[in-house]
Chain A
Amino acid sequence: MNALAERHVALVGNPNCGKTALFNLLTGSRQKVANYAGVTVERKEGRFTAPSGRTVRVLDLPGAYSLQAASLDEAITFDVISGRRADELAPELLVCVVDATNLRLHLRFVLELLALGKPTIVAVNLMDVARRRGIEIDLVRLQQALGVPVVDTIAVKHGGAKALIDLMDRNELPRLPPISVTGDLHLRVRQLLADAVRMPTQTARIDDALDRWLLHPVFGLLTLAAIMFLIFQAVYAWATPLMDLIDAGTVAVGEWVGAHLPEGPLASLLVDGVIAGTGGVIIFLPQILILFAFILALEETGYLPRAAFLLDRMMSSAGLSGRSFIPLLSSFACAIPGIMATRSIQDPRDRLATILVAPLMTCSARLPVYALLIAAFIPQQTVWGVFNQQGLVLFALYFAAVLSALLVSWVMKQWRRGSDEHPLMLELPSYRLPHLRDLLIGLWERAMIFLKRVGGIILASTVLLWFLLSFPGAPADATGTAIDYSFAGRIGHAMAVVFAPLGFTWQICIALIPGLAAREVAVASLATVYAVAAVDEEAAAEALGTLISSDWSLATALSLLVWYIYAPMCLSTLATIKRETNSWRQMGFATFYLFALAYVASLITYQLVSRLT
């Protein structure tokens, strides 16, 4: 037992003050990331041991411009500082972090905080950058004027917070600010700046030069397109070898376990349920890590808000924000990292709208289904002299998905109209070089959030699906395939009634069920239902293609293609939506609207095509 009581400290400050980098420097990897109860705002807590042996608990509060909250983040910050949240101890000591190169804006918030009369330390961060720009700050004068301790910190340097740690470690907390803070805060800030700061130029020359090019209407958009292309390539292509490796590893472990256990329900549960399910969770990690490496680096350099600046007009007319672009783009590879990437959207309404339309982006798992059906039903012809007809259909499917997403977000925008105007007011911070430690901690957090919170749901649902597909077993005198006799088979037969107007056969309905785990499994399931015997997947797909092209009508095939544009049946995506929105209601809404869209669109397609052909 430690003699010194644990100390509760909260880091507060404007957005872009380097607060999180300072938090990382103080606590290292001893961090816990969760959500504040009932909301999507991230709660970050860490601990470190001060030289005296005292444990200091540090809370990294969401960045805020003012205590007069304009967003959910800011409301949380205010509530925690003032001890209004029942689930959070009011901090004993506030560390207000300010950016030494942006004191005009940040000192106003310091004054607002001091007015609360809580023990406070002001940490002037990014002192190294300020010095390089020739900004001179007289910390002693600043301390006298503010009446609370003022220290400088360099969050990206080892030992850059030593003075701050010493102050936090003292037995007696710093005295309450003796000065009264009232009146025009901006006026006070101007006085403070005139007294204690010497500033050569208004902004860094490098920022001016970079912004001239990166925000240029033509060159800026080209650069953005190039960066997006690189990210998309990386998430799509670089992750594939790793995912194949994980896939092969899962199969190998499954085979090994299968070989060492007597055949029966237990072996089947372990191999087809638990091991396949765990593999199905880990397989998302490469894409998540690659995407987040890019996003974190872009966020740290200050480019992400610039991308939002360039795209805001286009995205906002559809009811989204400039920040929605990267999450939506990455959803073309897979919606799961895409939905997780919406954490970079501060506005909760924009974030929700982006999460809800992300599953509409055509993820890579839908390609095998598209490929099978297109190869089987769309003749390989040249249209208008230049276009490949199969390619055209594939393009149409992607295009329909994007159009639907825009339409859905536009409708949602109309829905919530009447609420107040949606502000942008986005600060474009100075460009900075990303710091490796902060990147690694960020990546580690994302990986853990995914494995701990989403992994459990995916694993559980895979085991449940295994159960539905395996029980009860086929009788000895069975004439059909085993899946036909299972619960899944029975559900498929029952579903066929509902899906008959869409032209879906009972075989398709059964194949939709294992497709819940992952959409690409639907092809393999169709092969199972039709009992296609083939040596490998490719041969199976080919044999299946020939079979269904004679068995299904064109209307059925097109209807199933359209169904897959919306395809609300990826359990992993739904699990991610549940975790990221922290709400069963939003997940239910997403499921319902995707399902309704899929049903209606397929119905129209089938009825139209079957009448025309």
Chain B
Amino acid sequence: MRLDSLPFGQSAVVVSVEDRPQVGSTDVIARRLRELGFVPGEVVKLVATGPVRADPLLIQIGFTRFALRRSEAARVAVCLQAEAAV
């Protein structure tokens, strides 16, 4: 599943960050997400959503909270923690 469809308050583990095809250059947003710590194995949690159409999402990762727009969060593939433990 993708980070933008994570249920409220649910923890998950990052599987990968996927690049969106860009014209002529690398996906800066995907690269930045990895730099911010969205790397495989890291635990993420949805802690709040914006008031309009539940956008942006507030994601807790490690000790930091990042506000991500839905289109940004959709680049992150995650799996729920229960599945990861199996």
Residues of A in contact with B (beta carbons under 8 Å apart): 65-66, 68, 70, 101-105, 108, 184, 186, 199, 202-203, 207-208, 211-212, 215-218, 220-221, 305, 308-310, 312-314, 316, 420-421, 423-428
Residue of A at shortest CB range from B32? A70
27 contacts between A and B (CB under 8 A): A66-B32, A68-B35, A103-B63, A104-B37, A108-B35, A186-B37, A202-B60, A202-B63, A203-B60, A207-B65, A211-B48, A217-B50, A309-B58, A310-B51, A312-B50, A312-B55, A420-B22, A420-B28, A421-B29, A423-B32, A423-B72, A424-B68, A425-B32, A425-B36, A427-B66, A427-B67, A428-B65
Query: How near does chain B come to A349, taking the closest CB pair, in angstroms?
Result: 14
**CB of A198, distance to nearest CB on chain B (Å):** 13
**A309 and B66 alpha carbons, distance in the complex (Å):** 10
Contact A186 B39 (CB under 8 A): yes
Q: Which residues of A contact B55 (CB under 8 A)?
A: 312-313
Cα A581 to Cα B8 in complex, Å, equals: 41
Residues in B whose Cβ lies below 8 Å from that of A70: 28, 31-32
- Nearest-Cβ distance from residue B79 to partner chain A, whole angstroms: 18
CB closest chain-A residue, reference B33? A425
B82 close to A (CB within 8 Å): no
Is the pair B51, A217 in contact by a Cβ cutoff of 8 Å?
Answer: yes
Interface contact A313-B52, CB-CB below 8 Å? yes
Interface residue B7 (Cβ < 8 Å from any Cβ of A)? no
A65 lies within 8 A of B29 (CB): no
Q: Is A215 touching B28 in the complex (CB atoms < 8 A)? A: no
Q: Which residue of A lies closest to B28 (CB)?
A: A70
- Of B28, B33, B64, the residue contacting A104 (CB under 8 A) is B64
Instruction: Please tell me if the beta carbons of A105 and B64 are within 8 angstroms of each other in the complex.
Output: yes
CB of A474, distance to nearest CB on chain B (Å): 60
CB closest residue in chain A, given B45: A202
Q: In angstroms, how far is the closest chain A Cβ from the Cβ of B8?
A: 12
Q: Which residue of B31, B58, B62 contacts A202 across the interface (Cβ within 8 Å)? A: B62
Cβ of B71 within 8 Å of any chain A Cβ, yes or no, is yes
Question: Which residues of B come within 8 Å of A, CB atoms?
Answer: 20, 22, 25, 28-29, 31-33, 35-37, 39, 42, 47-53, 55-56, 58, 60, 62-69, 71-72
- CB neighbours (8 Å) of B37 from chain A are 104-105, 108, 186
- The residue among A211, A305, A428 with the most chain B CB atoms within 10 A of its own CB is A428
The 8 closest A-B pairs by CB, nearest first: A217-B51, A313-B52, A104-B62, A215-B48, A426-B67, A66-B35, A428-B65, A309-B67
A69 to chain B, nearest CB (A): 9
User: Which residues from A are CB-within-8-Å of B63?
Assistant: 101-105, 199, 202-203
CA distance A409 to B27 in the complex (A): 26
Q: How far is the CA of A211 from the CA of B47 in the complex (A)?
A: 9
Chain A residues positioned under 8 Å from B65 (CB to CB) = 203, 207, 211, 427-428
When distances are taken between beta carbons in the complex, the residues of chain B under 8 Å from A207 are 65
**Could you tell me the dominant secondary structure of chain B's interface residues?**
mixed
Tell me if B51 and A424 are in contact (CB < 8 A).
Answer: no
In the assembled complex, the Cα of A308 lies from the Cα of B42 at a distance in Å of 26
Could you tell me the distance between the alpha carbons of A68 and B48 in the complex, rounded to whole angstroms? 29
How far is the CB of B57 from the nearest CB of chain A, in Å?
A: 10
Q: Given A309-B58, A420-B28, does the pair A427, B64 have CB atoms closer than 8 Å?
A: yes
Rounded to whole angstroms, the CA-CA distance of A208 and B45 in the bound complex is 13
Q: How many Å from the CB of B83 to the closest CB on chain A?
A: 21
Cα-based distance from A108 to B39 in the complex (angstroms):
12
Q: Contacts A66-B32, A425-B29 given: A211-B58 contact, CB under 8 Å?
A: yes
- Is B28 a contact partner of A423 (Cβ separation < 8 A)? yes
In the complex, what residues of B have CB within 8 A of residue A104's CB? 37, 62-64
- Report the separation of the CA atoms of residues A207 and B63 in the bound assembly, to the nearest whole angstrom: 11
A101 contact set on B, CB distance < 8 A = 63
Q: Give CA–CA (A212, B63) in the complex, Å.
A: 17
Contacts of A428 in B (CB 8 A): 58, 65-67
State in angstroms the CA–CA spacing of A211 and B22 once bound together. Answer: 35
Task: Enumerate chain A residues within 8 angstroms of B20, measured Cβ to Cβ.
Answer: 421
* CA of A103 to CA of B62, assembled, Å: 10
Distance, CA A103 to CA B37, complexed state (A) = 11
Instruction: Provide the bound-state CA to CA distance between A221 and B53, in Å.
Output: 14
CA distance A274 to B50 in the complex (A): 51
Question: Looking across the interface, which residue of chain B has its beta carbon closest to that of A211?
Answer: B48
Contact B60 A305 (CB under 8 A): no
User: Which of the listed residues A66, A423, A425 has the most CB atoms from chain B within 10 Å of its own CB?
Assistant: A425
When distances are taken between beta carbons in the complex, the residues of chain A under 8 Å from B48 are: 211-212, 215-216, 309
Whole-angstrom CA separation of A428 from B48 in the bound complex: 12
Contact across chains for B36 and A105 when beta carbons are under 8 A apart:
yes
CA distance A65 to B65 in the complex (A): 14
Q: Are B58 and A215 in contact (CB under 8 A)?
A: yes
* Complex-state Cα separation, A590 to B56, whole angstroms: 31
Closest to A427 in B: B66
In the complex, A214→B25 CA distance in Å? 38
Tell me the smallest distance from the CB of A125 to a CB of chain B, in Å.
Answer: 14
Whether A309 lies near B50 (C-beta < 8 A) is: yes
Complex: how many Å from CA A248 to CA B42?
Answer: 63
Contact between chains at B60 and A312 (CB < 8 Å): no
Q: Which residues of A contact B53 (CB under 8 A)?
A: 313
Complex Cα distance, B72 from A427, in Å, reads: 14
A220 lies within 8 A of B68 (CB): no
Asked whether, in the complex, the Cβ of B31 is within 8 Å of the Cβ of A68, the reply is yes
Chain B residues with Cβ under 8 A from A313's Cβ? 50-53, 55-56
Instruction: Please name 9 further chain A to chain B contacts, defined as beta carbons within 8 Å, in addition to the given A104-B62, A203-B63, A203-B65, sorted by A numbering.
Output: A65-B35, A221-B51, A309-B50, A310-B50, A313-B50, A420-B25, A424-B56, A428-B58, A428-B65
Residue of B28, B56, B63, B67 with highest tally of chain A CB at under 10 A:
B63
Closest B residue to A418 using CB positions? B23
Which B residues lie within 8 Å of A423 (CB)? 28-29, 32, 69, 72
Residue in chain B with minimal CB distance to A215: B48
Residue of B nearest to A109 (CB): B35
CA distance A470 to B56 in the complex (A): 57
Beyond A65-B36, A202-B60, whether A421 also contacts B71 by CB under 8 A is yes
Shortest beta-carbon distance from A258 to chain B in Å: 57
Nearest-CB residue, chain A, relative to B55: A313
Closest to B70 in A: A313
